[in-house]
Structure 1
Amino acid sequence: MFGLPEKQLSFLLCASCDTLPTPMSLSRWNIITNPKCALCQTLQPTTNHILTRCSVALVQGCVTSVSPPTELSTSLSRPDLVLVSKDSIYLFVLTVTTNTQQHFLAARARKEDRYGSLLYDLQCTGLAVDLISIEIGCLGHFMPKTLAQVTTACCVSKKTVQSLFEQAARIAISCSYRIFNSRASPEWDLLDLLT
């Protein structure tokens, strides 16, 4: 799957099925009786807690929160990814749409409208805020301008971002192919979509 090494694939599958040996799972399996996070002592920590929410890991920099800072905004809009630095916040939203520039621009306009109040609330805190709208066409197309935005926001090489976009394009094409081939079937397996 996506060329992942065997151990990473096993981790991904176990995380998806909630069968990683977290304190919560170990308690559920009657292996331990007092499930606590080893770092912050939170009771019954889940995989999500360990990967994204542990307060000690956040302070240590082991994990980075990907949730919008709710204390900074009352907006119910939640982007797909949030990167926060000392003086900037980048909000990333992803859409798979029809393969025309017109549809790409329409999707971007809808997202700018949807996230407008969140952007305003965050800008009022004095931080620089940028909404990065990523549109991937169902046949694998994307706007080159978006590559530059992501490269700048993530402080990574253009080659790295290009590779990520190409992978996303391959996934979009694969999914579109499966959807197309299932067009006459009333039932089809979502798990089989990327194979």
Structure 2
Amino acid sequence: MWNAGIETRTGRKWSASSAVQEAESRLRHSDIVGTTCIGKQGLGSTRVERWGTADTAGRKKMAQDNIRKMEEEIRKVKAVEMGAQGAWTKWETTERRLTWADIWKLEPCRIQFLLRSVYDVLPTPTNLHRWGMTENPNCPLCDQPGNLAHVLSSCNTALTQGRYTWRHNKVLRELADTLMKERQKKRKCTKHQPYINFVRSGETTNKKAVHQGGILDGANSWEMQVDLGQRLVFQDVAQTNLRPDILLWSQQGKKMIMIELTVPWEDRCQEAHERKKGKYADLADDVRAKGWSVWVLPVEMGCRGFPAQSMWRMFSTLGIQGRDRRAAVQRLSTTAEKSSSWLWWRRVDLSWKPSIDGQ
């Protein structure tokens, strides 16, 4: 029986021993190459653990991390080769991590929408037409090609009915709640200077996390207005018809922060950022001419819940970092994804009505 010579092919087989050998070879090669810099990173700014000087436990962890990295590279190479299902590799957003604990907490309909929308396998009119299930690939609302990007962000009828505005306001309300809590915190109005701890040669010191102050730490008595429910009225500093989504200002410190939120299709985050930045450039110059310090912070949250880098930078600029920043971005991601999921399940309704429970 064992000598029958039967060969069973089950696709790509993963060998633990081969993967470990390849990982060790790559790590030894990294020791030969030495420390390299990425972008504006300076020499010595990061601590690099070397294979040649690591202990047994350290080598084990380095090999495991390298194997995970290799498998991720293989997955991304395969995704790039796929036209529709690999479109996420071109997104102008940051990653969104889901743990098993997060997945177990999600409703089945949300998991279905999130996974299938990322890989563009939802039953949109264009996909149904491509799969040979329908003859008409057009959107039932506006009679335009109904791909996923059209349904979630580009349908003129949905825009006129206020569907995208409803989603935008849901995310904006979550962002405003976060900033309202930060605004109300008591802050020491001090300028944070970088601290350099000099150490003698051969000595070591304990590194302590130093809080990097943000804009909110530079003044007290911050006031805030949000473009929700009622028309936002700009301050008397400048006359304009522009309405930023969130306006923070301190009359005492003569500081003003304008935040403009966009919930675009993930491929168009950078385009939206540049457009909103240019929109408020002249207004910012007019306010600066009156002696104020002004920050214009356009931020983007992808309609499927993938945040752009501008969202992380905005929180850091304001002084919200660490665990608080991660939690805030996670809440915004969840709100955008849940809102888009609701829009998807109500995509064929000709009369638009927001969800009853407000989700």
CA distance in 2, matches of 1:145, 1:157: 14
Stretches of structure 2 lacking an aligned partner (at least 5 in a row): 1-220, 226-231
CA distance in 1, matches of 2:310, 2:259: 14
Bigger Cα Rg: 2
CA distance in 1, matches of 2:352, 2:273: 30
Number of the residue aligned with 1:93:
260
Q: Secondary structure at the match of 2:291?
A: coil
Q: Measure how far apart 1:134 and its partner are.
A: 1.1
Whether the 8 Å contact between 2:277 and 2:297 is mirrored in structure 1 is: no
Which of 331, 336, 351 is 1:172 aligned to?
336
Normalization by structure 1: what TM-score? 0.59
Which amino acid is the alignment partner of residue 165 of structure 1? V
Identity %, equivalent residues: 19
Whether the 8 Å contact between 1:98 and 1:104 is mirrored in structure 2 is: yes
1:1-195 pair list within 5 angstroms: 64-66=223-225, 70-85=235-250, 86-100=253-267, 103-153=268-318, 155-192=319-356, 194-195=358-359
Q: Secondary structure at the match of 1:142?
A: coil
Q: Secondary structure at the match of 1:97?
A: coil
Number of the residue aligned with 2:203:
none
Q: Which has the higher contact order (CA 8 A, sep 6+)?
A: 2
Which amino acid is the alignment partner of residue 259 of structure 2? F
CA distance in 2, matches of 1:116, 1:148: 19
Q: Measure how far apart 1:117 and its partner are.
A: 2.3
Moved over 6 A (4+): none
Change (3 A) 1:174 1:72: same
Which amino acid is the alignment partner of residue 157 of structure 1? Q
Change (3 A) 1:128 1:64: closer
Whether the 8 Å contact between 1:75 and 1:117 is mirrored in structure 2 is: no
User: Number of paired residues?
Assistant: 131
Change (3 A) 1:178 1:164: same
Q: Secondary structure at the match of 1:126?
A: coil
Q: Secondary structure at the match of 1:164?
A: helix
Change (3 A) 1:145 1:188: closer
Whether the 8 Å contact between 2:315 and 2:321 is mirrored in structure 1 is: no
Whether the 8 Å contact between 2:300 and 2:310 is mirrored in structure 1 is: no
CA distance in 2, matches of 1:131, 1:158: 23
Q: Measure how far apart 1:193 and its partner are.
A: 7.2
Q: Measure how far apart 1:65 and its partner are.
A: 4.2
Change (3 A) 1:180 1:111: same
Stretches of structure 1 lacking an aligned partner (at least 5 in a row): 1-60
Q: Per-residue CA shift, 1:131-166, capped at 9, x if unaligned?
A: 11110001001123431332222x233322221221
Higher strand share: 1
